[in-house]
Amino acid sequence: MSAHDNHDHAAGGSSHGSVKSYLTGFVLAAALTIIPFWAVMSGGLSSTFATAMVILVAGVLQLLVHLVFFLHLDRSSAARWNVNAGLFTLVVIGIILAGTMWVMWNMNYHMMH
Return d(Cα 7, Cα 30) in angstroms, integer: 28
The verdict on pTM exceeding 0.85 is no
Return d(Cα 63, Cα 48) in angstroms, integer: 22
Res. 14 pLDDT band, cuts 50 70 90: low
Res. 4 pLDDT band, cuts 50 70 90: low
Three-state SS sequence of 24-51: HHHHHHHHHHHHHHHHHHHCCCCCHHHH
Quick: pLDDT tens for 25-82.
Answer: 999 999 999 999 999 999 878 899 999 999 999 999 998 899 889 888 877 877 788 8
